[in-house]
A and B are shown apart, each in its own frame.
Chain A
Amino acid sequence: MRFLFKTDYDQDIRLFKHGGQVFWYGLLMALLLTAPFTVGEYVMSQLHFIFIYSIVGLGLMLLVGFTGQISLGHAAFLAVGAYTEALLQAKGVPVFISLPCAALFSAAAGLIVGLPALRLKGIYLAIATLAFNVIVEEVITRWEGLTGGNSGLHVKPVELFGVKLDGDAGFFYLCLGLTVLSILALMNLLRSPTGRAFVAIRDSEISASCMGVNLAKYKTLAFAISAALTGIGGALYAHKVSFISPEQFTLLQSIELITIVILGGVGFLHGAVLGAAFLIVLPQLISLAKDYLPANVGSSGLQAVVFGLVLIGFIIFEPLGLYGRWLKLRTWFELFPFYRKGMFRRQKSYMKSERLR
């Protein structure tokens, strides 16, 4: 167990709290930077997806985990980002302009969704975002002149300063860089007044407004930032899969995106990345397992069943998600042999109602 003796306010706000963190994150970074030379094409491709979903997960984490707003419509922001990127790129706009545009357009869509969030809470907000998702999907399907409708759009690889990033390595560094930047930006935000205002809104809206937090402004801001990150993820996604069509951005996609947050651990930035990795790796494991199962069990339904069971299992047995599990493991080792059960148990709030009576 490590004890930190604080002698300076700066110690509370620096990103790395102690040398150990610098070392481990440094090591991880070094491994990732050399990855294109050490891992195969297949793993590389999976890493692309992990980073893309990490960026989206980070956006959702800010909204769900830190601001306490529910969104069942994030696939719509993903779509806005993907289509913006695809269309601008087709017009020959360079990526360092089109990528910010994708973020900006998504953020604008986020503002639009954020507006009802000012009046709606909980389940009503969930349905509003869900409705938004369905409507965006339908608009994309019907606006054939722009989006190609159901026949979709082809997207070319990224081109940066005349260099085509179609090789695995180039695109990998782009995704990695954007993921790291997103994490840093959110960490900065969370150690500043804005991030604290988000958390305040999550824990008690009334109290937040009595402390001078403008609920309207910060809720829409949370939606906008979350959507912007999702838009960047969408743009990268478009490049990665090189073909986009409306059925990639349905409600089911939104729900899958939300599970990143739940599986990773609500309220931890690490959780977004871990959840994304898990979401990408799980289907691979399932398809591996399929070979050993009888035919009717190994059918297309297997993935849904496993996915559902994993979700249920996590919520019942590990509500803090993968990151929570890791925290517990770490504490166990640090305190060995003094760890006791229930150190992380949260107080249950029986029927803490949203309705009033």
Chain B
Amino acid sequence: MIIQQISVFIENKSGRIYEVAAVLAEKNVNIRSLALADTASFGVLRMIVDKADVAYEALKAAGVTAKISEVVAIEVPDQVGGFAAVMKVMSEAGINVEYMYAFVEKNQDNAVLIFRFDDVRKTLGLLKGKGLRILQAKEVLSL
């Protein structure tokens, strides 16, 4: 149920994202999804990759500041109101989303959203039995 995400600190300077991409390419790590959050002075690049551990070690070795965070992937019907239905469940359960982004690939006709909650395990408990389809790590990586 818990997916490992690589988060990388990106200094606000040209060439920094390339550095990260090049390290991953060299280690044959495939990026399955990514999102860049930024402010005026820095950014955080969040990625779902096929080999999180390999990516983490390679980035460390290259002197990049990175960490592994736990996120949750939820399937959403790709139709009007699909996303709203998911968010309604969260809103009613009083769940606070730290951040979220969409997965690039679809799972057949369903979109996949990546969510970060401040307490992943507790949130998963709250979401249980609410009719949401939460994907396993291997399902996400095989998309």
A and B form one complex:
no
